[in-house]
Chains A and B, each alone.
Chain A
Amino acid sequence: MTFVLTLMAAAGASGVELLEALAIVLGVGVTRGHRNALLGALAGGLSVLALCVVLGPALRAGASVAVIRVIVGSLLLLFGLEWLRKGVLRVAGRRGRASSYHEFVEARESSAALPNASGRPDWAARAIAFQGVFLEGLEVGLIVLALGATPGHLVPALLGAAVALLLIAAAGLALRRPLQRLPETQIKLGMGIALTAFGTYFTALGLDAHWPLAELAPLYLGALFALTARLAIRRLERDRPVAEAT
């Protein structure tokens, strides 16, 4: 059961971040050429991979399982609670909806505004693709490292990230129309709930607290955070300032 939950959380969280990276790479590729976009993306991806190869063993070396669980849990909570906060604000209409298509348009516009590199390597375009892939990829890397750092979770976490990578690469081939159709706001809210539930579960375990139903705890913790999010959304919708509501 934990295998499936970890795999789903890793796949979902990696998927939404990779989708944003893909949107930036596509935006640069459309305006400055796909070769420059892919080179920047490749450099960004390799930098994240190198960081994870260094950070992964460092996280495990010399630390007890309890300490690793607290570090991992706190990391998941940092991402999870932030995604949950943004998701609540978006669903309640207090913030723009999450949209990789918007990222695509933004990257396309900022690339188009760059001076023409005519004949020379287009370092500016490569830098935009690098920055997008590095920042989004770093989040993926840290989430997968965190989910996979506790014993028995590495395989499902890596498998989940690989599934997400394949799906997003396939989406990239179909280009930009699917970017507009995905319910990203809801997906991100769901992933915020999942990461927060896992973060709470691991942090408490690391601090020697016990959960009823043991490994099924992320399920009811997820339900608890989902209920909190639902109530917060209702409250925000009800209390929306008059000028915004009209």
Chain B
Amino acid sequence: MSSLLWRLRRKLLGETWTIPLGIAAALVLALVFRALLSSGEWQTMGGFGLAAVLITTLIRSLPLERRRTPDETAAAHVQQHDPPQGVTRCTSGNGG
């Protein structure tokens, strides 16, 4: 039963809290901006503002890393070819 409920939660809310929280934030921001902007401004720009927040949510939910500096890339290569003792190579992605 608990396994069913756990899977149900993952089905409905997804594997990460970033997306449900991002959607909630998008709705709250939309309501705030709708109250602050004039009716005409909101009607013209509101949809695109909402889309922008949702795109940000999507990007935040992904494990995007900053680009490595050449030094970091070289260090990663060294570590890959000569890993410290007890450290195994990661091959399973982000585990998500």
* Complex partner residue of A208 from B8, B46, B80, CB under 8 angstroms: B46
Q: In the complex, what residues of B have CB within 8 A of residue A221's CB?
A: 51
CB distance from A113 to the nearest CB of B (A): 15
**Closest chain A CB from B48 CB (angstroms):** 8
Q: Which residues of B contact A78 (CB under 8 A)?
A: 12-14, 19-20, 23
Q: What's the Cα separation between A208 and B54 when bound, in Å?
A: 17
Bound together, the chains give a CA A84 to CA B13 distance in angstroms of: 14
A77 and B23 in contact (CB under 8 A), knowing A207-B50, A209-B42?
yes
Contact for B90 among A93, A196, A243, CB less than 8 A: A243
A236 contacts partner chain B, Cβ-Cβ < 8 Å: yes
Are A232 and B50 closer than 8 Å at their CB atoms? Answer: no
Per-residue CB contact flags for chain A residues 209-246 toward chain B (1 = under 8 Å, else 0) read 11100000100010011001100100110010111101
CB-based contact A203/B59 at 8 Å: no
B47 close to A (CB within 8 Å):
yes
Q: Pick the contact of B63 from A94, A201, A243, A246 — CB < 8 Å? A: A94
Task: Check B62 against A88 for contact (C-beta < 8 Å).
Answer: yes
- B66-96: CB near A (< 8 Å → 1, else 0) gives 0110000100110010000000011101101
Instruction: Name B54's contact: one of A81, A210, A243 (CB within 8 Å).
Output: A81
Contacts of B4 in A (CB 8 A): 131, 134-135
The smallest beta-carbon distance between A135 and chain B, in angstroms, is: 5
Residue numbers of B with Cβ under 8 A of A are 4, 7-8, 11-16, 19-20, 22-23, 26-27, 30-31, 34, 39, 42-47, 50-51, 54-55, 57-59, 61-65, 67-68, 73, 76-77, 80, 89-91, 93-94, 96
